[in-house]
Structure 1
Amino acid sequence: MTAGADIVTLDHEGEIAIVTLDNPPVNATSAALRAGLVEAIGRVCADEAVRAIVLICAGRTFVAGADVNEFGKPRAEPSLQDVMAALEGATTPIVAAVHGTALGGGFELAMACHHRIATPKAAFGLPEVSLGVIPGAGGTQRLPRLAGVATALGVIVEGKRLVGAAALEAGVVDALAASEESLRADAIAFARDLLARNLPRERLLRRVRDETGKLAPDPAAFEAARAYAAKRLRGQVAPVRAIACVEAALDRPFEEGLALERETFRELETGPQSKALRHAFFAEREAAKIPGIGKDVPTRPIERVGIVGAGTMGTGIAMAFLDAGFPVTIVEAKDEALARGRGMIEKTYAGAADKGRISRREAEVRLGRLATSLSYDDLADADLVVEAAFETMEVKQAVFQALDRVAKPGALLATNTSYLDVDEIAAATARPQDVLGLHFFSPANIMKLLEVVRAEKTAPDAIATAMALAKRLRKIAVCVGVAHGFVGNRMLARRQAEATNLVLEGAMPWDVDRVLVAFGLPMGPFQMSDLAGLDLGWSRETSKGETLKERLCERDRRGQKTKAGFYDYDDARKGSPSAVTEEIVLAMSAEKGIARRAISDEEILERCLYPMIAEGARILEEGKAIRGSDIDVVWINGYGFPAWRGGPMFFADETGLAAIVDALDRHAATHGEAYGAPALLRRLAAEGGRLSDI
Structure 2
Amino acid sequence: MSQSAVAYSVQQSVASLIMHNPPVNALGKAVRVGLVEGIEKALADDAVKVIVITSDIGFFSGGADISEFSTGDFEPNLSTVVLHAIEQSTKPVVAVLPGPAFGGGLELALACHYRITHKANKVGLPEVNLGILPGAGGTQRLPRLVPVQQALDMVVSGRPQSVTKLPSVFAEIVDSVEQLPAATQTFIENLDLTADIPRTCDITVDSASFDPALFEQYAEGIKKQARGFFAPFNCIKAVQAATELPFPEGLQREGELFLECMQTSQARAQQHFFFAERAAGHVQDYDKSTPVRDIKKVAVIGAGTMGGGIAMNFANAGIPVTMLELQPEALEKGLSVIRGNYERTAKKGKLTAEDVEKRMSLLTGTTSYADLADVDLVIEAVFEKMEVKQAVFKSLDEVCKPGAILATNTSTLDINEIAAATSRPQDVIGLHFFSPANVMKLLEIVKAEHTAPEVIKTCMQMAKIIRKVAVLVGVCFGFVGNRMIEAYGREANRLMLEGATPEQVDKVIYKFGLPMGPFTMGDMAGLDIGYFVRQSRKAFIEHDPSYCVVADKLVEDGRVGLKAGKGVYLYEPGNRQPIPDESVLEIAKQEAARLGIEQRKISDQEILERCIYPLINEGALILEEGIAAKASDIDVIYVYGYGFPVYRGGPMKFADEIGLDKVLTAMNKYREQLGDYGEAWFKPAPLLEKLAQQGKTFN
| CA 25–249 in structure 1, closer or farther in 2 if over 3 Å, else same | same
Query: Any residues of structure 2 matched to 1:22-421 within 5 Å, and which?
Result: 22-81=20-79, 82-168=81-167, 171-195=168-192, 200-201=195-196, 204-213=197-206, 216-218=209-211, 222=215, 225-227=218-220, 229-421=222-414
Does residue 637 (structure 1) correspond to residue 633 (structure 2)? The answer is no
Cα distance in 2 between the residues matched to 1:531 and 1:618: 29
Query: Any residues of structure 2 matched to 1:551-630 within 5 Å, and which?
Result: 551-570=553-572, 571-630=574-633
Contact 1:401-1:428 within 8 A present in 2 as well = yes
Cα distance in 2 between the residues matched to 1:5 and 1:290: 30
| Per-residue deviation, 1:679 | 1.2
What is the aligned partner in structure 2 of residue 663 from structure 1?
666
- Partner amino acid, structure 2, of 1:581: V
Contact 1:149-1:214 within 8 A present in 2 as well = no
| Per-residue deviation, 1:120 | 1.9
Which string of whole-angstrom CA distances, capped at 9 and with x for unpartnered residues, describes residues 330-363 of structure 1? 1011012112211210111011011112112111
Does residue 469 (structure 1) correspond to residue 472 (structure 2)? The answer is no
Cα distance in 1 between the residues matched to 2:40 and 2:21: 20
Contact 1:306-1:328 within 8 A present in 2 as well = yes
Cα distance in 2 between the residues matched to 1:88 and 1:214: 24
| CA 569–416 in structure 1, closer or farther in 2 if over 3 Å, else same | same
Which string of whole-angstrom CA distances, capped at 9 and with x for unpartnered residues, describes residues 409-462 of structure 1? 101000000000000000000000000000000000110110000000000000
Which string of whole-angstrom CA distances, capped at 9 and with x for unpartnered residues, describes residues 146-189 of structure 1? 11112111111112222232233xx2212113422332332222
| CA 70–214 in structure 1, closer or farther in 2 if over 3 Å, else same | farther
Cα distance in 2 between the residues matched to 1:122 and 1:86: 26
Counterpart of 1:194 in 2: which secondary structure? coil
Q: 1:677 aligns with which of 684, 690, 694?
A: 684
| Per-residue deviation, 1:212 | 2.9
Cα distance in 2 between the residues matched to 1:537 and 1:30: 50
Contact 2:493-2:551 within 8 A present in 1 as well = no
Task: Please identify, of 590-599 and 482-491, the stretch whose mean Cα deviation from structure 2 is larger.
Answer: 590-599
Cα distance in 2 between the residues matched to 1:219 and 1:367: 49
Query: Any residues of structure 2 matched to 1:445-456 within 5 Å, and which?
Result: 445-456=438-449
Q: 1:11 aligns with which of 3, 9, 12?
A: 9
Which string of whole-angstrom CA distances, capped at 9 and with x for unpartnered residues, describes residues 118-160 of structure 1? 1222211000010000000111111111111121111111122
- Partner amino acid, structure 2, of 1:318: A
- Partner amino acid, structure 2, of 1:43: K
- Partner amino acid, structure 2, of 1:663: A
- Partner amino acid, structure 2, of 1:200: A
- Partner amino acid, structure 1, of 2:191: L
Cα distance in 2 between the residues matched to 1:367 and 1:492: 35
Counterpart of 2:529 in 1: which secondary structure? coil
Contact 1:22-1:59 within 8 A present in 2 as well = yes
Contact 1:144-1:215 within 8 A present in 2 as well = no
Counterpart of 1:117 in 2: which secondary structure? strand
Which string of whole-angstrom CA distances, capped at 9 and with x for unpartnered residues, describes residues 506-544 of structure 1? 1011111111111111111111111111223658xx999
What is the aligned partner in structure 2 of residue 510 from structure 1?
503
- Partner amino acid, structure 2, of 1:550: D
Does residue 424 (structure 1) correspond to residue 417 (structure 2)? The answer is yes
Contact 1:147-1:214 within 8 A present in 2 as well = no
Which string of whole-angstrom CA distances, capped at 9 and with x for unpartnered residues, describes residues 362-394 of structure 1? 111111110011011111111100000000000
| Per-residue deviation, 1:557 | 2.7
| Per-residue deviation, 1:24 | 1.3
Q: Which runs of 5+ in 2 are unaligned?
A: 539-546
Cα distance in 2 between the residues matched to 1:304 and 1:221: 52
Task: Please identify, of 74-83 and 513-522, the stretch whose mean Cα deviation from structure 2 is larger.
Answer: 74-83
| CA 485–511 in structure 1, closer or farther in 2 if over 3 Å, else same | same
Query: Any residues of structure 2 matched to 1:437-448 within 5 Å, and which?
Result: 437-448=430-441
Which string of whole-angstrom CA distances, capped at 9 and with x for unpartnered residues, describes residues 96-120 of structure 1? 0012210000000000000101122
| Per-residue deviation, 1:561 | 2.2
Cα distance in 1 between the residues matched to 2:141 and 2:396: 59
| Per-residue deviation, 1:289 | 0.9
- Partner amino acid, structure 2, of 1:116: R
Contact 1:481-1:625 within 8 A present in 2 as well = yes
Counterpart of 1:567 in 2: which secondary structure? coil
| CA 193–224 in structure 1, closer or farther in 2 if over 3 Å, else same | farther
What is the aligned partner in structure 1 of residue 696 from structure 2?
689
Cα distance in 2 between the residues matched to 1:537 and 1:492: 11
What is the aligned partner in structure 1 of residue 550 from structure 2?
548
Which string of whole-angstrom CA distances, capped at 9 and with x for unpartnered residues, describes residues 276-325 of structure 1? 11111111111111114122211110011100001111011011111111
| Per-residue deviation, 1:75 | 2.4
Contact 1:415-1:436 within 8 A present in 2 as well = yes
Contact 1:377-1:406 within 8 A present in 2 as well = yes
| Per-residue deviation, 1:199 | 6.3
| CA 19–616 in structure 1, closer or farther in 2 if over 3 Å, else same | same
Cα distance in 2 between the residues matched to 1:492 and 1:511: 19
- Partner amino acid, structure 1, of 2:595: K
| Per-residue deviation, 1:31 | 1.1
Q: Which runs of 5+ in 1 are unaligned?
A: none
> Aligned residues: percent identity?
48
Which string of whole-angstrom CA distances, capped at 9 and with x for unpartnered residues, describes residues 179-211 of structure 1? 22332332222122223xx6631xx43435425
Cα distance in 2 between the residues matched to 1:372 and 1:167: 45
TM-score by length of 2: 0.94
Contact 2:205-2:243 within 8 A present in 1 as well = no
What is the aligned partner in structure 2 of residue 459 from structure 1?
452
| Per-residue deviation, 1:584 | 2.4
- Partner amino acid, structure 2, of 1:192: E
Does residue 500 (structure 1) correspond to residue 493 (structure 2)? The answer is yes
Task: Please identify, of 21-30 and 453-462, the stretch whose mean Cα deviation from structure 2 is larger.
Answer: 21-30
Contact 2:111-2:199 within 8 A present in 1 as well = no
Cα distance in 2 between the residues matched to 1:645 and 1:173: 38
Cα distance in 1 between the residues matched to 2:314 and 2:212: 43
What is the aligned partner in structure 1 of residue 653 from structure 2?
650
| CA-atom RMSD in angstroms | 2.0
| CA 386–5 in structure 1, closer or farther in 2 if over 3 Å, else same | closer
Counterpart of 2:157 in 1: which secondary structure? coil
